[in-house]
Amino acid sequence: MPAMKQTIQFCTAPDGVKLAYAVSGDGPPLVMCATWLTHLESRWRSLAWQPWLEAFSPDHTLLSYDSRGCGLSDRDPGDLSFEAWIRDFESVIDAAEFQQFSILAACQHGAVAIEYAARHPERVRKIVLYGTYSLGRVLRHNPPVETEKTRVVASLLRLGWAQDNALLQIWAHAFQPEGTIEHWHSWCDFQRVATSAETATRMVEIGWNVDVRNAARKIKCPVLILHPEGDQVVPIEEGRALVSLIPGSRFIEIDSKNHMPLADEPAWPRLVSEIRSFLAEAAPAIPARSHELPVDELTPRELSVLEGIAEGMDNAELAASLGVSEKTVRNHITRIFDKIRVKHRYEAIVLAREAGLGANSRLTRVR
C-alpha cells in the first residue's frame, strides 16, 4: 500500500512541540500508538511496519503519529518524558477529532495506551497490546547480568547508531532474530531516518523506567494481549503479568521468536486474525453508575473476594490470600456475579471500585 494513501497533518502539543500525524484507510477508528522509533513516511517501506499498515488500514480509519523527537515531528523537543508522551497522545487524538476509538499498541508505547485508557475510559472502546509490559526493564528484579546488559545496550545505541556494523547484527537480531539480512538492513535504514542516536537512547531509557501497573488495574474496556513466546526484547512473562493486572483481559501466546513478527512466518496470519476478530466483536456496555453495588446481599467472605477482584487480583492470588482453593474462589465469584448482576470480571471491577472497594476501601476484609 503506497504512502500516498495516508493524509499527514500537524498539531501542537501543550508545550509548543509540533507533532505529525497521519490518517489512512476507512472504517471504525483505530489508533496505532507510536512506538519507540517512528517516521510516518518511511514506515511504509519498512519490512517491520509495512505488514501492520497493510493489515489494518483497509478495515479501519487508522490514526498514527510520530513521537516527539522522531520522524516528521519536532526533532529537538525540550521535554522528552513519559508524561510528555501522554500529552502528545491526547493532543493527536483531539486534533484528529476521534471521539471513541480502539487502540493498537506495541512494545514500550503499550504503556502509553494503558495510561491514556486509565485517564480517559470514556474514549477507549478496546485495546490490543502486542509485545508490551507494565513495568520497565530497569525496575524489574533483574539479575546482575541483565543490569549489565542494559548498560551495554545504551552504550551501543550512542556509539554505533544506524551504522551497518556490529550494532546492526546485535540490535536488529534482537528484534527479528529469524529475519533475513534484508530485514536487518531495513531496520537499520529505519533507525537512520527516524531520529538521532541521542534521542533514541533517551527514548529507550524512558521506556525502561515506566511503571503503569496502577493504571493497568483501572482499565475498564476489553483488552487483548498478544506476546511472542520467544521474545528477546520483552520477555513473555511481562505479557502474562499484564493479564493479572488488567481486568477481564485476554492473553494469546504467539509462536514466534521475533519481537517484530515477519510477514512470511506462520504466526503472522494468526496474529492478524486474532486482532481483527477481537476488534470486530461488539464491546460490552460498562455498567451505568446508577447500578449500585448491593453490598448488603454479599456475605463477608464474598465481599472480601470482590474487594480482591477490585484490586486486580487473579483467582490464584485470591485463593492464596484467603487460604482456600481456586475452585472455592471460582464458586464465590459465580455467586457474586449473580448477586451484583454482571457477566464479566471487568464489569465487577468497575462496579466495585465505584462503590469504594479496592486499595482505598474502608470496608473490613475477611481473611
Let me know if residue 365 belongs to a domain. no
pLDDT of residue 2: 46
Tell me, yes or no, whether 111 and 187 share the same domain: yes
pLDDT of residue 367: 29
CB 80 within 8 A of CB 47: no
Let me know if residue 225 belongs to a domain. yes
Let me know if residue 361 belongs to a domain. no
318 vs 339: CA distance, rounded Å: 19
Mean pLDDT of the chain: 86
Let me know if residue 211 belongs to a domain. yes
Domain hosting 142: range is 3-280
What's the pLDDT tens digit per position in 4-13? 478 999 999 9
Tell me, yes or no, whether 247 and 276 share the same domain: yes
User: Which CB contacts under 8 angstroms, 24+ apart, belong to 325-334?
Assistant: 329/305, 332/301, 332/302, 332/305, 333/305, 333/309
**Residue at a domain's end among 226, 251, 280:** 280
Longest Cα separation, the chain = 68
Provide mean pLDDT across the span 253-278: 94
DSSP one-letter code for 135: B
CB hemisphere CA count around 184 (13 angstroms)? 17
172 vs 195: CA distance, rounded Å: 16
Number of H helices, E strands in the chain: 15, 8
Tell me, yes or no, whether 309 and 170 share the same domain: no
Number of domains into which the chain is organized: 2
Task: Give the residue carrying C-alpha cell 531520529.
Answer: 195
Tell me, yes or no, whether 116 and 215 share the same domain: yes
**Residue at a domain's end among 280, 315, 335:** 280
List the end-to-end C-alpha distance of the chain, in Å, as a whole number: 58
pLDDT of residue 240: 94
Tell me, yes or no, whether 248 and 108 share the same domain: yes
For residue 22, give Cα distances in angstroms to 32, 184, 316: 10, 26, 43
Provide mean pLDDT across the span 67-72: 95
**Residue at a domain's end among 224, 257, 280:** 280
Provide mean pLDDT across the span 68-73: 96
What's the pLDDT tens digit per position in 129-176? 999 999 998 888 766 666 677 677 777 777 767 565 666 567 777 888
Is the per-residue pLDDT at 349 higher than 70? yes
Q: How confident is the model at residue 222 (pLDDT cuts 50, 70, 90)?
A: very high
Is the per-residue pLDDT at 262 higher than 70? yes
Is the per-residue pLDDT at 313 higher than 90? no
355 vs 336: CA distance, rounded Å: 15
CATH of the domain at 34: 3.40.50.1820
